[in-house]
Amino acid sequence: VVSTQSTGICWFIVSLFYYGLSFGWHKMSKNIFVSQGFGSVSELVACTVCFTLISTAGRKKTQMTAFLGIGICFAIAMANVSLSSTWKLQQVACLIAIVFIGTEFITVYLYTAELSPTSHRGMIMSLCSGAARIGSFIGPYLSLLYDVLDRRIVLGLFGGVGLLTSVATYFLLEDSTGVEIPEVPSDIQGRKRLEEDEEDAKQVDSI
In this structure, which long-range contacts are made by residues 76-82, counting pairs with CB atoms below 8 Å and at least 24 apart in sequence? Answer: 77/155, 77/159, 78/151, 78/152, 78/155, 78/156, 78/159
Instruction: Give CA separation, 40 vs 18, 35, 46, 47, 155, in Å.
Output: 12, 9, 10, 11, 21
Interior CA angle at 143 toward 142 and 149, to 5°?
85
pLDDT of residue 123: 92
pLDDT at 203 over 70: no
pLDDT digits (tens, 9 = 90+) for 35-76: 778 778 888 888 888 888 888 998 999 999 999 999 999 999
The tally of CA atoms less than 13 A away on the side-chain side of residue 8 is 15
The tens digit of pLDDT for each residue in 110-147 reads: 999 988 888 888 999 999 999 999 999 998 888 788 77
Q: Is the pLDDT of residue 195 over 60?
A: no
Q: How far apart are CA 28 and CA 207, in angstroms?
A: 59
- Total H helices, total E strands in the chain: 7, 0
What is the average pLDDT value for the chain, to the nearest integer? 84
Rounded mean pLDDT, 68-96: 88
CA count, 13 A, side-chain hemisphere, 165: 31
- What whole-number percentage of the chain has pLDDT above 70? 87
pLDDT of residue 185: 73
Calpha distance 18→29 (Å, rounded): 17
pLDDT tens digit sequence for 172-187: 888 888 778 878 777 7
HSE-CB at 102 with a 13 A cutoff on CA atoms is 20
Q: Report residue 205's pLDDT band, with 50, 70 and 90 as the boundaries.
A: low
C-alpha span between 145 and 151 (Å, rounded) = 8
Which of the four pLDDT bands, split at 50, 70 and 90, describes residue 29? low
CA 113 – CA 197 distance, rounded (Å)? 26
pLDDT of residue 43: 84
Which positions ≥6 away from 131 have C-beta within 8 Å?
8, 9, 11, 12, 15
Residue count (the chain): 207
CB atoms within 10 A of CB 142: 19
Mean pLDDT within 3-11:
91
